[in-house]
Structure 1
């Protein structure tokens, strides 16, 4: 292995020869740009990082009410993971698969968020909290996607080619939800917490349950800043309410029949007394 320029950023040249990187930035939010000189130009990398930082500051300030200053962005797991992904994805597209995977796995160790460098992700991705989030190799994410902790965008088997989901613009996937398979989640849709989605979802829908099913589709656009995960329809609760209504209706009919039987019995008794 040829030692890249600025090898003094590694602990020693012997480590560099064996491909072992022992020195890490204390903040850990930015991959060491000097070790990528053999894979892409430093100017290309720096311009991409600057553009991403500006975008991410805006995205996080829009969608996380807890943030108090721009400096906090550098501490967010989402920021670290997506920055690593942006660099790894550039390397992946250039055919440097091992280095791309090394960067992505470094991000996993630091953040608990696993984004395959082969995934295609648009602008404005926000991963809130982030621990346990997995995005597969052939997943495609549009612009302004919001993911919460524990989300999996995975495949359903060992088939080659496209095997992960495609998410349209402005989709929100709530905590613990699993979207498995090669199909599309339409733009402006919401996936409720803990749902397991196994088939295509049209645009402007709300999906909840296991397996996931559409419980709301009104055609109204859901803004990307709509972060409400709580006020989603509950199909089980709705079914229980319908059963309660049916039970009350049947109880009412039984009471009416009972009253009619009493009236018939009373009339029969009166008739018998009259005949006597």
Structure 2
């Protein structure tokens, strides 16, 4: 019975999201959106193709809607009426690489110069300005855990992890895990360390 109800729900989501499917099929950012869909489906272990996956993600995850609307630009004005985005998630970045995953996204502000491929950002995260112009750059495969703050003209290197509630105001090298206030390195290239950020 649950499975039957799920497919009925999905059918109605197809109807509701048909404008989204149309925009997706012709948009210049189609390949980026496909990479996002692949990443989100992989995280949730869902076996759908692009169209069904898109509909499921739009119907079930408002965080995904925010990312989708960021990708499609001006079309978001119309599409948001049909399928509202998460009102407490803000995404401002000139460049967002493929496969960005936002878990929960509640009370999250993402204001970055650039976000690399396959990044993971949790809830109650602030990535933002320290003044009128200085904001962070995230490399590829970066994870920012719940409640973390990454502020100012800093770079988070590829494959690095910012621990929950950490406050980062200095550059983080690649392949590092940082924790604390202010953040310091506890793991570098898989080895336990205790190093200050410089």
Per the normalisation by structure 2, the TM-score is 0.71
**Aligned residue for 1:62?**
42
Q: Summarize the Cα distance change of 1:76–1:132 in structure 2 as closer, same or farther, 3 Å threshold.
A: same
78, 85, 98: which is aligned to 2:70?
A: 85
User: Would you say 1:135 and 2:135 are equivalent positions?
Assistant: no
Q: 3-state SS of the aligned residue for 1:78?
A: helix
Q: Summarize the Cα distance change of 1:29–1:199 in structure 2 as closer, same or farther, 3 Å threshold.
A: farther
User: Would you say 1:113 and 2:98 are equivalent positions?
Assistant: no
Unaligned runs of 5+ in 2: 1-14
- Does the 8 Å contact 1:139/1:153 carry over to 2? no
Q: Summarize the Cα distance change of 1:29–1:146 in structure 2 as closer, same or farther, 3 Å threshold.
A: farther
- How does 1:157-196 map onto structure 2 within 5 Å? 157-158=131-132, 160=133, 163-196=134-167
Bigger strand share:
2
**Aligned residue for 1:22?**
none
**Aligned residue for 1:124?**
99
Name which one, 1 or 2, has greater alpha-carbon Rg. Answer: 1
CA distance in 1, matches of 2:62, 2:194: 31
- Does the 8 Å contact 2:120/2:142 carry over to 1? yes
Bigger helix share:
1
Relative contact order higher in (CA < 8 Å, ≥ 6 apart) = 2
- How does 1:248-267 map onto structure 2 within 5 Å? none
CA distance in 1, matches of 2:161, 2:153: 18
- How does 1:28-107 map onto structure 2 within 5 Å? 30=20, 45=27, 48-49=29-30, 51-64=31-44, 70=53, 71-74=55-58, 75-88=60-73
Instruction: Give the superposed CA RMSD.
Output: 3.6
